[in-house]
Chain A
Amino acid sequence: MPNESPMNDPRNIWQNQPKEPFKMSVDEMRLKAHRFQMKARLTAATGITSALAVCIFFAWSFARTHEVLPRMGFGLISLCGIFMAFQTYKWVWPSNLPPDTPVSTSLEFYRSELERRRDFSRHIWRRTGLTYLFLGLAMVVVPALIEAFGAPRLLLNMVPFFLLLITWFVLFFRGKKRNQRKLQQEIDELRAFERDR
């Protein structure tokens, strides 16, 4: 009689699955919370240090370069490093648990997670400082490119780089648009659910 078998009842199967023993004392939990906080801070500190290293490296290039436009480019990229360090601190540095976080229902929490991702994706250029980074790069690369017009061989060497750059741009924008559309669709569905509450 297959219908009466406990192996045919999903609730039974689910509730009787083998347990993996897991037990932590309150003291262990406190220690774990402390370690968790320290680890999160270390991750954030690594990001900030890397961004500051970018800043220092390009500030050094800024000081060594004498042409006006590339110099401005290096300066801009260096400032981007500071901006990235600040953004990392703002978004990645661990904060204390907001009191109302666990109170929100799972639906609200899930929607807010989706909205957070959508907003980050929508403002990715501003949030990560990519606009200024590319502007700075352009200021460094364009003068070299203009110079290369006199030597077509040099220009030919640059073609793969620009082809890759264009491909990256196309794929990046298409992926971003598709991702945003999917996220928005899901957010709208969840809002419709919330209206029915």
Chain B
Amino acid sequence: MQSTSVGAESQNSLYEQVVDSYGPALDRLARAYELDADARRDLLQDIHLQLWRSFAYFDQRCSLRTWVYRVAHNVATKHVMRQRRIRDRLVNIENFDFLPGSDQAELAASQAEALGRLSMLIQRLKPLDRQIIVSYLEGMDASSIGEITGLSPANISMKVHRIKNILKRWFGEGGPNAE
């Protein structure tokens, strides 16, 4: 793919724009890939660094959002792939058979507990499925997720359906009702 180099000023302004618009989303994305606070800070720094570097080659063939999420997911995927002990235990969403206990199925007592449960679920998934569930939780539709991951809308729909079912089991009926 032919890339167009943009000027340093444009690179900097793009980066500042992204920090303002996607800063909190990038923070959440890092949380989906790393539970440890110190390691997460390093990962987040790495994501920001690679994003800033990547804007030198941003050619506007895709939207800024798609670009940001692709770069961020790629950096985070590399981070997971480096940790062999974690990597070897990850599962596909299709093979995710861990059912919550009866106490877990009840409504979470606090936001922190619910978030902890959600993080635990995400941390067990392989990188590609993790990208899909994070994009889904960020409120993206199937075509946006497809642009980021490279999967077909049919595949995305199938996986999102599976994710919804799992979330329903983990959080009760009121959860994943939005497409």
Contact = CB atoms under 8 A, between A and B. Distances in A.
B150 A108 contact: yes
Interface string A171-193: 00000000000000010011001
Nearest to A9: B175
B93 to A, nearest CB: 12
A110 B128 contact: yes
B49 A32 contact: yes
B104 interface: no
B176 A11 contact: yes
B70 to A, nearest CB: 6
Interface size class of chain B, counting residues whose CB lies under 8 Å from the partner chain: 35 or more
Interface in A74-115: 97, 99-110, 113
Given A8-B175, A196-B152, A105 B70 contact: yes
Given A99-B3, A113-B78, A20 B52 contact: no
Contacts of B74: 101-102, 104, 106, 109
A70 B143 CA distance: 65
Contacts of A110: 77, 127-128
Nearest to A196: B152
B173 interface: yes
B99 interface: no
A13 B172 CA distance: 13
B172 A8 contact: yes
B111 A13 contact: yes
Interface majority SS on B: helix, strand, loop or mixed?
helix
Contacts of B67: 102
Contacts, number: 166
A96 to B, nearest CB: 9
Interface in B19-54: 19, 23-24, 27-28, 31, 37, 40-41, 44-45, 48-50, 52-54
Given A13-B115, A107-B149, A193 B174 contact: no
Contacts of A105: 70, 147-150
A190 B151 CA distance: 9
A52 B25 CA distance: 45
Contacts of A190: 128
Interface string B123-134: 000111001000
Interface stretch (A23-31, A136-144, A150-158, A161-169): A23-31
A102 B75 CA distance: 9
A194 to B, nearest CB: 7
Interface majority SS on A: helix, strand, loop or mixed?
helix
B117 to A, nearest CB: 9
Contact of A9 (B3, B24, B171): B171
Interface in B68-108: 70-71, 73-74, 77-78, 81, 92, 107-108
A107 B128 contact: yes
A36 B148 CA distance: 27
A42 interface: no
Contact of B31 (A17, A32, A103, A189): A17
Contacts of A97: 50, 53-54, 56-57
A7 B24 CA distance: 19
B19 to A, nearest CB: 7
5 contacts: A99-B5, A100-B1, A102-B70, A107-B150, A107-B151
* The 5 residue pairs across chains A and B that have the minimum distance between CB atoms: A105-B150, A3-B174, A107-B150, A99-B3, A14-B137
Given A5-B107, A105-B149, 9 more contacts: A9-B174, A14-B115, A15-B137, A20-B44, A22-B45, A106-B150, A193-B152, A197-B151, A197-B152
